Structure 1
Amino acid sequence: MGATSISVRSVSRFKIPEGTTNIKKANITIGSIKTTTESLTVEGKVFKKFIGNYTRTIDDEILVYNSDADEYQQYDNYQKAFEFDIFYSSSDNLLFLSTNTPITKKFLKELEKNDDLDISYSPLAFNLKEISNMMPQTKGVSFNSTDEGVSSKSFSGDEVDVNDEAIEALENDEATKIIGTLDILGKSRTIMLTQSGTILSFTSLVDIKKEFPMLEFAIATLIKIKVL
């Protein structure tokens, strides 16, 4: 089983009209957000569920069969639609999106520009140094670099948190990503947290017998690291 991730943002406003609101760019629909009647409670927090959809350009060479010309034609990119769940807690002003960071960033940016919606959001800042101190084992740290010709650096290993550059990045709040182990929902799990707002589990979540295990895991993680 591959890694499972969810994106989280802090929101001060999230007003979505009933039904489906399309996201358009140059009069072309590139996505949508749809209300539902569903809600769920996690750790005493009530979340309203929405359905998000966003079409992203994938840069990859593909062959497509053209039946009119009876031949295959090569394209350098193609459009792919992604559908994902969105969970909003008005009491904690939190928004969770069950998709990756690139789609989350573009989707929310387009939502914010939509005149039919009223939303305002910001990253949920993590204190990665404090989180590293909580981890029995820190396995990876990434940070931006000012070295000539190098934009970022990543260190991985069983003792990455004793590396001088990694320590400096954590202490100066310059780290962008951290990987390590934490005891979450009764099990030691290898997780990743990024300053862009991604929570990722490298450990299977099949033991979490809930309808949306990744949301359960994300909330438990935020409580564990004292964000909630």
Structure 2
Amino acid sequence: MPARSISVRNVSAFDIPDVEIQISKADVPLGSIKKIPNGTIPVEGITFQIFEGQYTKHIVDTIAVYDVNQDEYIEYSSYEKPQFFNLYYSAEKSLLLSEASTPITKSFLKNLANQPDVTLEYQAYHFDFQNISNRMPQTKGIRFSSEEPGVNNKSFSGDEVDINDESLVALENDEATQLIGTLDIYNKSRTIMLTQSGTLVSFTSLIDLDPKIHKYPMVSFAVSTLMFVDMI
């Protein structure tokens, strides 16, 4: 089972009309968001409202499309592809989870916040990677910025990267931007990744979670993980 990710945002204001909201920029349609009727779910004692999001992603890639009128294939160097995903909002915890990738979520929320009749204020969580690393039985990867000539970022991977001197300094100085390691979530050691841009990744399959209890396993996993690291 491939890695699964979810985008995490701390929301200080989230006021969206009950009707479907069309998202546009300079009169160009970009997507939409709508509340799912009766779409609330409980996760670890927290109630989430489900929203359905749609956002158009611009893809630069050469494709050939058959034109019926001209009876031939026409090549395009780019095209627009709609992305469909769910968002989960908890007013109680000021928490918004998005199934979309971080780049899509970032663009989607930025443009949503600029729509009339929408009040949206949010930010990515800033994780205490030093504290989280100390809780990890294994810290397997770390990424941090570098001021060395010609080097913007450094990454270390292994079984105990947290004993590396450079990694320790990055953690102590709160300079790490990405952390990979294991945490015991739902009675199983799971390899996860957290980024300061607001991404939570599970590299371990969630197939063991009971679907009767965890209808949305990645949401359950995200909430449980954020609780474990004292973010909610």
Scaled to the shorter chain, the TM-score interval is over 0.9
Hey, what does 1:127 align to over in structure 2? 128
What's the CA shift string for 1:102-149, capped at 9, x where partnerless? 001000100111122111111111001111111011111011122222
SS at structure 1 position matched to 2:106: helix
1:10 has 2:14 as partner: no
Q: Which amino acid aligns with 2:216?
A: F
1:192 aligns to what? 193
In the alignment, the residues of structure 2 paired with residue 69 and residue 146 of structure 1 have an alpha-carbon distance, to the nearest angstrom, of 56
Across the aligned residues of Structure 1 and Structure 2, the Cα RMSD in angstroms comes to: 1.2
In structure 1, the partner of 2:114 is 113
Superposed, 1:150-169 pairs within 5 Å as: 150-169=151-170
Q: Give the distance between the partners of 1:177 and 1:23, measured in 2 at CA.
A: 31
The corresponding residue for 1:223 is 227
Give 1:65 shift: 2.4
- What residue in structure 2 maps to residue 66 of structure 1? 67
**2:213 paired with 1:212:** no
Q: TM-score, normalised by structure 2?
A: 0.94
* Residue type at the aligned position of 1:162: I
- Using the alignment, how far apart are the partners of 1:216 and 1:139 within structure 2? 23
Name the CA distance, whole Å, in 2 between partners of 1:150 and 1:76.
33
Q: Percent identity?
A: 52
- Structure 1, unaligned stretches of length 5 or more? none
Q: 1:145 to 1:59 in 2, by over 3 A?
A: farther
Find the aligned partners of 2:42 and 2:171 in 1 and give their Cα distance: 34
Unmatched runs of 5 consecutive residues or more in structure 2: none
Q: What corresponds to 1:28 in structure 2?
A: 28
Give the distance between the partners of 2:70 and 2:168, measured in 1 at CA: 60
Query: How far does residue 73 in structure 1 lie from its aligned partner after superposition?
Result: 2.8
| Runs of 4+ that moved beyond 4 A | none
Q: Distance in 1 between matches of 2:25 and 2:79?
A: 17
Query: 2:50 and 2:71 mapped to 1: Cα distance?
Result: 45
Q: Secondary structure at the match of 2:18?
A: coil
SS in structure 2 of the partner of residue 19 of structure 1: coil
Aligned residues: 228
What's 1:136 paired with? Answer: 137
Deviation of the 1:62 alpha carbon: 2.0
Residue 39 of structure 1 corresponds to 40
The CA distance in 1 between the partners of 2:181 and 2:146, in whole Å, is 21
Read off the aligned partner of 1:61 and give its amino acid letter: T
Look up the SS of the partner of 1:220 in the other structure.
helix
Residues 72-118 of structure 1: per-residue CA shift (max 9 Å, x gap): 33322211111111111111111111111000100010011112211
Structure 1 length-normalised TM: 0.96
Alignment of 1:45-60 (within 5 A): 45-60=46-61
* CA apart distance, 1:165: 1.6
